[in-house]
Amino acid sequence: MTLLGHSDEEYPPAPGTPPGAAPPAARAHLLNGRTAQSYRGTVTEGVDRVARRISGVTQPATGASVPDVTAEFADLDLDQPLHDPARALDELERVYLRDAVYFHHPRYLAHLNCPIVIPALLGEAVLSAVNSSLDTWDQSAGATLIERQLIDWTARRLGLGPAADGVFTSGGTQSNLQALLLARDEACAAVRRRSTGQARTSGILPRLRVLTSECAHFSVAKSAALLGLGYEAVLPVPSDADKRMNPAALAGELDRCRREGLVPMAVVATAGTTDFGSIDPLNEIADLCERSGAWLHVDAAYGCGLLVSRRRHLLAGIERADSVTVDFHKSFFQPVSSSAVLVRDRATLRHATYHADYLNPESDAEDRVPNQVDKSIQTTRRFDALKLWLTLRVMGAEAIGELFDAVVDRAAEAWAQIEADPRFEVVTRPQLSTLVFRYLPRAEATPEMCDRVNRRARQALFDSGAAVVAATTVEGRQYLKFTLLNPETSANDITEVLDLVAEHGALAELAELSRSGVS
């Protein structure tokens, strides 16, 4: 039998191999010195296929339906291996690559998914093959120092000061969760210091509150629930016309908490809301947090691209945060996942520390062994920092900033275009690269009909595969959304996608009118 280009005879049992050990054919799949050539050939074939697929993509999606794609899996049996990488790749073409949604296409305008830079893909290949785990030094060595260097670099870009620290995470949701965990434990400690008796955690938690904009990411509320506070502990603060947190409203909520004996454990400001790309007034919010003693967390998962942009001034005040979320896989053009949470005072990371004798005993800390698990809520953790490291070493921060500025520029142009087009209504001028708008049916259309028309237009556009746009609601009404993260998206792409939206919207409108009997 031949497997991965090698026969069983090439893999005789090693001396002293016990009876019942894995047969040679199984060992041929393990990456080691003897299989390095096979690894090179197999991965090269996979890369070649992906490169051919990407080269041939003419639209971001095929429009294949859920039943169509599901049907491809009907006869697959995972207990019957194909015994051949080429056959497995053939199968993968059919069940995944053919109908995948391709974010690199300039008419993919839906979610916060960016096209990715080649140096980061090089990093992905290296980190996957070596497979370091970033929990302890004895599993990672230099990888730990690379991650720490990148955390220091990001902290300097943020302006957090010499005591700053942080750790890479799986994404913005985990970063927000860890930040609020630290804020929770800091708030509980502060309550205990002020208490005349022995305040128990169980008695403190029901009093804790998290204040955040009504436009904040849902992970804030989800984190509060996971931390034992409940969804009701999150107090939404009204936003202004530009979808930025209203500082006066925040001040009022903080005063109300004080009057009612509640503890504002954290205020979460957003630097780049998911729907609107809006950036909360960070300095004004920081002033209020200092007066109230609340932890300030800035969710800059989307807006962190400004750190290397000519628009860095839009993040003024972020240096006053107690913690910050950054998602390099949104606006640094990195593959998923590549995110981090940073803190102004590294001592606060102790709330995520647990010393396990088998992994990171306290003696390691005393000996200054740099174990990243001491500051992470994950244990086993990929070396995702390598992707950003190679990107900075090959391209440099300025080049990343140029790419991010390009999409923000394009969004500004698109806003002007939609604002001047009577077929559409746009909600607010973007600070970053998202646009929320909707197609406007004829004047006599009811709000419910307008909702249905926009919903059907978006679905019809996706079904065609010609473009992909997102959807959201504003004050309970249905809207569409462009998320521009591809520097290759041109003004002509925007024009043609808007024409397609209007075309599908008009057809949906005709269907609605026909159904209601209106001519």
CA–CA separation, 515 vs 509, rounded Å? 10
pLDDT at residue 23, as a whole number: 63
Question: Which percentage of the chain shows pLDDT scores above 90?
Answer: 89
* Model confidence pLDDT, tens digit, residues 51-78: 999 999 999 999 999 999 999 999 999 9
**pLDDT value for 11:** 52
pLDDT bucket at 202, cuts 50 / 70 / 90: confident
Q: Tell me the pLDDT tens digit for each residue of 304-339.
A: 999 999 999 999 999 999 999 999 999 999 999 999
Q: Which residues on neighbouring strands pair with residue 480, listed in sequence order?
A: 437, 471
Domains with residue ranges and CATH for the chain = 133-394 (3.40.640.10), 398-516 (3.90.1150.170)
CA distance 276 to 253: 23
Residue 3 — pLDDT band, cuts 50, 70, 90?
very low
Q: What is the pLDDT of residue 152?
A: 98
Return the higher-pLDDT residue of 515 and 223. 223
pLDDT of 21:
62
User: Which of 427, 157, 130 has the alpha carbon at shortest distance from 275?
Assistant: 427
From residue 391, how far is each of 122, 149, 388 by CA, in Å? 9, 14, 5
Band of the pLDDT at 442, cuts 50, 70, 90? confident
pLDDT at 8: 43
Is the per-residue pLDDT at 211 higher than 60? yes
Q: Please state, in angstroms and rounded to a whole number, the distance separating the CA atoms of residues 323 and 178.
A: 10
How far, in Å, CA of 49 to CA of 260, rounded?
62
Burial of 383 (0-12, 13-18, 19+ CB in 10 A): buried
**What is the arithmetic mean of pLDDT over 487-495?**
97
Residue 3: in which H helix or E strand, if any? strand 2-3
User: pLDDT tens across 337-372, in order?
Assistant: 999 999 999 999 999 999 998 999 999 989 999 999
Local confidence band at 143 (pLDDT 50, 70, 90 cut-offs):
very high
Residue 164, C-beta contacts closer than 8 angstroms, at least 6 positions apart: 152, 155, 158, 342, 343, 344, 345, 346
Instruction: Quickly count: other Cβ atoms within 10 Å of residue 347's Cβ.
Output: 10
Q: How far is residue 380's CA from residue 377's CA, in Å, rounded to a whole number?
A: 10
Per-residue pLDDT tens over the stretch 243-291: 999 999 999 999 999 999 999 999 999 999 999 999 999 999 999 999 9
- Cα angle: 281, vertex 285, 288; to 5 degrees: 155
Cα separation of 107 and 125, whole Å? 27
Report the pLDDT averaged over residues 22-37: 87
Q: What is the mean pLDDT of residues 165-172?
A: 97
